[in-house]
Amino acid sequence: MPSDGPARRASSDDQPLTELRAILLGPDREAWDALRQRLENPSRRAEDVAGVLAEAVRLRSDVKLRRALQPLLEEALQLSVQSNPRMLADALFPIFGKAIRKAITSELDGMLQTLSQTLEQSFSWRSVQWRWESFRSGKPYAEIVVLRSLLYRVEQVFLIHRNSGLLLQHVAAPPEAGQAETKDPEMVSGMLTAIQDFVHDSVSGAESENLDAIRMGDTGVVLAYGPDAIVAGFVHGVAPRKLSRVFQDALDSIERKKAEALRKFSGDTSEFDSCRPQLQACLVGQGRAEERKAGSWTARLLLFGLPALLILAIAGWWIYSAVVERRWTDFAHRLENEPGIVLTHTERRGSKFLVWGLRDPLAADPASLLPAGLASSNVEFHWEEYHSLVPRLAAQRRLAELKEEVEKRAFGFATGSAEIVPDQRFLLEEVGSQILALNQAAKVLGKTIQIQVRGNHDPVGSENFNSALARTRAENVRLALIAFGVPSPLLIAIPEDLEKETCGALMEQERVVCRSASFRVIGVP
Amino acid sequence: MLKKKICMVGEFGVGKTSLVRRFVHSIFSERYLTTVGVKIDRKDVTIGSASVTLMLWDLAGEDELTQLNVSHLRGASGYILVVDGCRASSLKKAVELQQRIAERLGPLPFVLVLNKVDLRDKWEVQSAAVSEYGWPTFETSAKAGSGVEEMFLALAGSLLSANSAAEDPAE
């Protein structure tokens, strides 16, 4: 083709040469033209490259191509997110949506578990200990609760290559009595992976789910998954949900550090020796059963002693209240049975006992009826007075009336005389019969009475004379009453020498009262 | 320490389990084969100064009713095709399995094992028919124990060379 230009310029001179060329190259010329057209036309060239691009990329599947494509892909993704984030979100949703849902569920589960435990233990002796521990160590209380509330121990931790099931690393806690022995970790690791496959195959719809935990009696396996590796822990006891978080965190850190080694893993496990610290951090555990059983005596004493004391105190208080109540009831009964007392209402107000009712003034003093153990300051009486018809009280009242009657009477005398005035004879009969009735009433009540006959005088005259005069007046009235029929032992005659003030400065007509003999009944309250 | 996952595949009853029983370290019962469909054993091999731990995934044999569980093949570095010399069908099955595995896992080192060499006079499989595939082939007897160690050594050797090839990738 380079000969094409000169051929045109010398078209007239080189006619034979051109003809020769046409003869020689004639059949190829069309192909050349076609080729030139393909090369010069960009759209044709693009079509050609498009035809082989996929094959070319497949052939060149080495690092160089990947490196060359990396920035392009990154920029393309960035552009895509900027222009239409929805598309990428939709594309990624099947992967992330599930993972996010699972993460939220597990987080909620964990929270609920912790919450319920916290509630259970809010008011226990242990919670007091934990609060103290939290205060002392500066750790949040919630963390202490989670740490202390579950009894478990991670005995072995496996780091497993997810694809091949090969064991990358294995750490074990120092063996303890009664610990289940795990056989060949290599094979256990493989079998765990196989079981995982088995579950996937057996449960339809679980292809993208993972086996989170396996339990056999007291021991269980807790698993955490990453894109290229699995962390599996053999746990003795009840594993808290937080444990899978611990595993997941360890695994995430390993996956970050060893991403390349994990992806290209071809059987050399020495690269993962440096992961031992992360795995050892998973060998956690809390509170062995023996420790819990032992417990301190003080704790137990407080734990069981306090409620027992409380129960005793309640029982004691109850018994005491019953006894006091009983005493008050007895007291109320005694009041009710007491003549001259009628209860209308009783009431307990705290320690006070309130009584409402009717009371005859002659009835016994209610406070004197209080039994031992009840203080009179604790009782409050509200009485209405009334007259009882109980015979004893009626007799008492009669006695009091008669006494009053008798004591109102007085015999008047003339100045200087001790003779009973004849027109007062009727008074003698009256007083005599009243004294006899009084004596009778006293006998009914079982009482003995006496009546003092008191002789008085006015201030006029000498003292000696007056004194003798008063005695004679009393004696005369006494004798007259005995003559009327009053038994003599009932009557005592005495001069009453205390009228100086009463009768000292009286007018003549008033002095009459002072020249008298009066009565005082003894033995009647 | 180099560890490799190896799968043992073959038709039902060709003697895969018997083949390894006497030569490997095992903790799992053979019941796993019928329940989980796989049993895992360990075989430690030393070649020169290198030692390789082969984790042998003894997969349940395939027959008309049971399909090979391909998910168990994931992450395998090599495999052992086991053929019962007394059954021509087992060779056919092995060839078919090889194709399926190669499709799924790509080119991987493997060996073909013609088992039950102690019953050679009853063999239906002709050595010539096998050699036309050009695969590394071993004649073993699980009963007498012959050829088994050699087979493991050869497989471990090809795994090691595949490993060193992978570690020095050509740019």
Q: Do B55 and A183 count as a contact with CB atoms less than 8 A apart?
A: no
Question: What was the pLDDT predicted at A160?
Answer: 92
Answer whether residue A313 shows pLDDT above 90.
yes
Indicate if the pLDDT at residue A179 is higher than 60: no
Q: In angstroms, how far is the first alpha carbon of chain A from the final one?
A: 167
Q: What's the complex ipTM?
A: 0.82
For residue A237, the model assigns a pLDDT of 79
- Whether residue A256 lies within 8 A of chain B, CB to CB, comes out as no
The residue among A441, A460, A459, A457 whose CA lies nearest residue A449 is: A441
* pLDDT one-digit tens code per residue, A250-271: 999 898 888 888 888 888 888 8
User: Which pair of structure tokens corresponds to residue A181?
Assistant: 């022995």
- The residue-averaged pLDDT of B139-163 equals 86
* Top-ranked range on mean pLDDT: pick from A32-36, A286-290, A505-509: A32-36
Element (H, E) at A42: helix A42-59
Lowest mean pLDDT, pick from A266-275, A286-295, A433-442, A472-481? A286-295
pLDDT band at A231 (very low <50, low <70, confident <90, very high): very high
Token pair 């589960």: residue: A109
> Who among B4, B28, B163 is closest to A187 (CB)?
B28
Distance CA(A148)–CA(A130), nearest Å, equals 8
Q: Is A363 exposed, middle or buried (0-12, 13-18, 19+ CB in 10 A)?
A: buried
Spell out the domains of chain B, with CATH numbers in brackets.
2-163 (3.40.50.300)
Asked whether the beta carbons of B66 and B12 are under 8 A apart, the reply is yes
Please provide the average confidence, as pLDDT, over all residues in chain A.
81
Q: What is the pLDDT of residues A23-35, one digit of tens each?
A: 887 778 888 888 8
8 Å CB contact of B75 and A165: yes
**pTM, to two decimals:** 0.48
Per-residue pLDDT band at A146 (split at 50, 70, 90): low
B75 touches chain A (CB under 8 A): yes
What CA–CA distance (Å, rounded) separates A41 from A39? 6
Amino acid identity, position B81: L
Query: Measured between alpha carbons, how far is residue A148 from residues A131, A156, A238, A287, A326 in Å?
Result: 12, 21, 12, 7, 52
Rounded to whole angstroms, how far apart are CA atoms A434 and A427?
10
The pLDDT tens digits for A8-19 are 554 566 788 888
| Cβ separation A267–B77 shorter than 8 A | yes
Nearest CA in chain B to A207: B71
Per-residue three-class SS string for B30-75:
CHHHHHCCEEEEEEEEEECCEEEEEEEEEECCECCCCCCCHHHHCC
- Residue A150's pLDDT is what? 59
In this predicted structure, what is the pLDDT of residue A312? Answer: 93
What is the nearest CA distance from B133 to chain A, expressed in angstroms?
27
Give the pLDDT confidence score for residue A490 in this predicted structure: 84
Please indicate whether, in this complex, the C-beta atoms of A64 and B171 are within 8 angstroms of each other.
yes
Q: Is residue A154 predicted with pLDDT exceeding 50? A: yes
